[in-house]
Chains A and B, each alone.
Chain A
Amino acid sequence: MPEIFIPAHQFEIRFKKLVNINDIISEKVAPFGKLASDITIENEGTRNVICNLVFENYLIHLRWDRILIRYECNFESFQSLSKAGSSIETPFLRIFDTIKDDPGFGEIIDILNFSLLVRLAGNNSKDENKWFSDTFLKSTISPFANEKDDLAITVEKNEKGKQTLFTFGPYQGINDLTKRNANPKNKDLIKSLDEKYGQMIDIRINEKLNAMSFAKYKETNSTILGMMEKLWGKQ
């Protein structure tokens, strides 16, 4: 079975700007520092302060208007993020809950789930492009898309308060990730994806919210997996 990798999975919670973000970092986020392997703080003392908690497989990033968790992993690890006890629950959502308890916290604005999935195939670049244009493009269009071009199809769906952007196309190496602002740092992951070919899916789900919970995270991930299964079949 072809291997699937997740070179970028980012879940972001955006909220009204916190004027006392520096105090929140030093009082409420500090106790979680003992769980991280490293902590970096930029622009300390200003409203543009950025706090990064670095863990083995992921990063938690906090600013005055958002908190996000960023992963690079394989498919199995991606699936386990929706299970009880995952790092999404603790420490990510736990940190968010402590921030939300602060009297200065206003309200949640929206969430974003951005996931980049790559399925490797045994074919080389030329075959992937040809397969893609033969499968998805009409004969009137496919002659314009030759083997060296970058191909993708984007579907945008807008519902009340929710926007989903689904882009898929051939994967032609690490440059395809860089174009989508995914620059993996994990050496094993880079080795698995460099100079390899296959297909890629870029999914972005943006939804306006009043309350955030682990169930909501699981719902967005379930949507992503459902879309992936429709294209690549059940894994």
Chain B
Amino acid sequence: MGKAIENKEIDTLIELLELPSATSSEKTSTIDIMLVEKEQTIDVSLKNEATEYYIAKELFNSRGFIDAELWEEPVNIPSQIIKIEKNHVVCNCAVDTEHRIFQSRIFKKKLFSHIAKLKEGSLVLIRLKEKPGSSRIDVVDGNNNVVDKKIFDQKNKWDSLRDKGLGKKAPGRIDL
């Protein structure tokens, strides 16, 4: 967890983080601050008990601390990965399993980086949530029956019959 920082470094840090300046008497005691800067986590231990509450309060106010989000009813789309590219993943999404409607959609690869053994054919559940002013995509590992594999097995079987000449008219009468 963090490291002890000397007074000179505290001043530099406060300046970098645009925090209000601490007085010399406030630079002697200890606080821990966990800062989240975009996707980076900076763990810093400062020696400053007196301003602990003030700095934490300012941080939360400036960053907008969200206690609980109320999303509208989510849309859950069972999907199968069909192609993994350098920065994107292409998924076959079952947007309507009842009427067997599928769509190919492309997502950023980062959304799948938490899934172990990501490969073509893997099943995922894409969860789309919305509320006024915001939308959210969650990608959940669909293995272990979370996504029904049979949805895609049937489609794959139909796809395998493509270009097999089944649409051609029979040459003549077939006697069975």
Chain A positions within 8 Å of B, measured between CB atoms, are 28, 31-32, 34-35, 56-57, 73, 76-77, 80-81, 83-87, 89-91, 94, 97-98, 188, 213-215
How distant is the Cα of A90 from the Cα of B98 in the complex, in angstroms? 12
CB distance from B42 to the nearest CB of A (A): 28
B76 at the interface (CB under 8 A from A): yes
B111 at the interface (CB under 8 A from A): no
* B73 engages A188 (CB within 8 Å): no
Query: Closest chain B residue to A73 by CB distance?
Result: B73
The main secondary structure of chain A at its interface with chain B is: helix
B118 at the interface (CB under 8 A from A): no
Query: Closest chain B residue to A78 by CB distance?
Result: B73
Residues of B within 8 A of A77 (CB): 72-73
B residues 22-74 near A (Cβ < 8 Å) are 70-74
Q: List 18 A-B contacts (CB under 8 A).
A: A31-B143, A31-B144, A31-B145, A34-B146, A76-B72, A81-B73, A84-B95, A84-B97, A85-B76, A90-B78, A91-B76, A91-B146, A94-B145, A94-B146, A94-B147, A98-B145, A213-B98, A215-B98
Residues of B within 8 A of A213 (CB): 98
Indicate which residue in B71, B95, B141 contacts A85 across the interface (CB closer than 8 Å). B95
* A84 engages B96 (CB within 8 Å): yes
User: Known contacts A85-B95, A90-B125, A215-B98: does B146 contact A57 (CB below 8 Å)?
Assistant: no
* A84 engages B71 (CB within 8 Å): no
CB distance from B61 to the nearest CB of A (A): 24
How distant is the Cα of A104 from the Cα of B49 in the complex, in angstroms? 61
CB distance from A145 to the nearest CB of B (A): 38
Chain B positions within 8 Å of A, measured between CB atoms, are 70-78, 95-99, 101, 125, 127-128, 140-141, 143-148
Indicate which residue in B70, B98, B146 contacts A56 across the interface (CB closer than 8 Å). B70
Query: Closest chain B residue to A94 by CB distance?
Result: B148
Query: Closest chain A residue to B96 by CB distance?
Result: A84
* A34 engages B141 (CB within 8 Å): yes
CB distance from B107 to the nearest CB of A (A): 16
User: Known contacts A34-B141, A215-B98: does B146 contact A87 (CB below 8 Å)?
Assistant: no
How distant is the Cα of A177 from the Cα of B133 in the complex, in angstroms? 33
Q: Which of A34, A56, A90, A188 has the most CB of B within 10 A?
A: A90
Query: Closest chain A residue to B68 by CB distance?
Result: A56
CB distance from A16 to the nearest CB of B (A): 21
